[in-house]
């Protein structure tokens, strides 16, 4: 079978890999769609991010869907031919954090396409994938591309849970890439009454408006565009910080009301924080990392027509054009979510 393998920055190859057979409790999946994520792009463009670096060739990818082609012993609830979304979250179920109900913090997490451990955890961008049946959520009624969007949508659903009560809240979203726009959809579904989105790109802000932002602010044109919201101790109840950029976080903090909640999703590296503002406003700073149980919810929301991700899928290229797909995904001037069609 063919797989998409990163060897070094900009050294992406389509290589032959040996297919596996499903064991007990596992299924074989013929991949249909795979979305290129920001972490995939970090490996492609830079060979990693922060202290996480490629030390060996690694199959990329973790936003995937496909059709079941074989069932291992003991599998029930799935049938050959089913379209499934495949969760890349594979906690061990036995460590301290799994037992505490925090599987996204599993000591032994095997998350597809991750160079954090060594040997690296190989990813899901391969023509045939063997996965645990428990990772698979049936996605009937959805396209393969929509089903592959369950992973990034789950990230923002988890962040929305971390934010807490959302009904009637005023929300600011900084950074309007895929995670930012999906955060708008998640916050609205959770009951946010007003959502303002800020970004440096007018094109990204166009997507923010498309998915329901009430107002957008182009910070490249109006660098102080968030300043008016800082009057009277702030305006917003919740900040989804999705850019990973310190200026966006600082400006967002100034615009928050006392006892507002900051949810940090963007992974741009360490930042210097305005601790006096955080302290004096009694703000809550909450990290949000990955997801687990939200994955099935993401599928149900899309199946029920409650969240529509289709407008965010801007490019779909065949497996044979994978290097071109990664170049397109790097160009935020033309791409929102780029996916690879595997068959």
For the stretch 290-332, pLDDT in tens is 999 999 999 999 999 999 999 999 999 999 999 999 999 999 8
Whether 343 shows a pLDDT value over 90: the answer reads: no
Superfamily of 2-149+309-341 according to CATH: Medium-chain alcohol dehydrogenases, catalytic domain (3.90.180.10)
The helix/strand/coil state of 217 is: strand
Percent of the residues in the chain that have a pLDDT greater than 70, as a whole number: 100
At residue 270, the pLDDT reads 84
Yes or no: say if 266 and 175 are a contact pair by the CB < 8 Å rule: yes
Q: Does domain 154-287 have CATH number 3.40.50.720?
A: yes
Place of tokens 């799994």: 98
Task: Encode 174-213: b = buried (16+ Cβ within 10 Å), e = exposed.
Answer: bbbbbbbbbbbbbbbbbebebbbbbbbbeebbebbeebbb
Band of residue 49 on the pLDDT scale cut at 50, 70, 90: confident
* DSSP designation for 311: G
Residue 159 is predicted with a pLDDT of: 98
pTM score, whole prediction = 0.95
* Exposed / middle / buried, residue 80 (Cβ in 10 Å: 0-12, 13-18, 19+): exposed
Q: What are phi and psi of 323, to 5 degrees?
A: -60, -40
H-helix segments, 114-198: 144-148, 150-163, 178-189
How do 83-86 and 63-71 pair as beta strands?
antiparallel
Residue range 133-146, pLDDT digits in tens: 999 999 999 999 99
Query: Domain coordinates of the chain in residue numbers?
Result: 2-149+309-341, 154-287
């Amino acid at each position: 079978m063919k797989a998409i393998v990163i060897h070094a920055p900009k050294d992406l190859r389509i290589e032959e890999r040996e297919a596996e057979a499903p064991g007990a409790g596992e299924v074989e999946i013929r991949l249909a769609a795979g979305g290129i994520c920001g972490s995939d792009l970090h490996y492609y463009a830079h060979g990693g991010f922060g202290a996480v670096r490629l030390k060996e060739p690694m199959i990329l990818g973790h936003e995937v869907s496909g059709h079941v082609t074989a069932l291992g012993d003991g599998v029930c609830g799935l049938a050959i031919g089913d379209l499934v979304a495949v969760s890349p979250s594979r906690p061990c179920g036995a460590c301290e954090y799994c037992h505490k109900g925090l599987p996204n913090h599993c000591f032994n997490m095997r998350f597809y396409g991750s160079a954090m451990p060594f040997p690296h955890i190989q990813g899901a961008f391969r023509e045939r994938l063997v996965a645990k049946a428990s990772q698979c959520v049936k996605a009937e009624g959805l396209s393969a591309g929509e089903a592959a969007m369950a992973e990034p949508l789950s990230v923002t659903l988890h962040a929305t849970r971390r934010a807490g009560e959302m009904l009637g809240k005023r929300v600011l979203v900084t950074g309007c890439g895929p995670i930012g726009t999906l955060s708008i959809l998640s916050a609205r579904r959770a009951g946010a009454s007003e959502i303002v989105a800020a970004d440096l790109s007018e094109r990204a802000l166009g997507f923010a408006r498309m998915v329901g932002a009430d107002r957008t602010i182009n910070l490249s044109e109006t660098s102080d565009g968030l300043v008016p919201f800082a009057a009277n101790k702030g305006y917003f109840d919740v900040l989804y910080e999705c850019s990973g950029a310190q200026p966006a976080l600082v400006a967002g903090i100034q615009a928050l009301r006392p006892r507002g909640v900051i949810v940090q999703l963007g992974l741009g590296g360490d930042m210097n924080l305005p601790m006096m503002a955080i302290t004096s406003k009694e703000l809550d700073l909450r990290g949000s990392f990955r997801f687990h149980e939200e994955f099935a919810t993401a599928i149900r929301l899309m199946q029920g027509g409650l969240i529509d991700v289709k407008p965010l899928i801007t490019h779909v290229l065949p497996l044979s054009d994978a290097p071109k797909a990664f170049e397109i995904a790097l160009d935020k001037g033309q791409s929102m979510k780029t996916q690879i069609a595997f068959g």
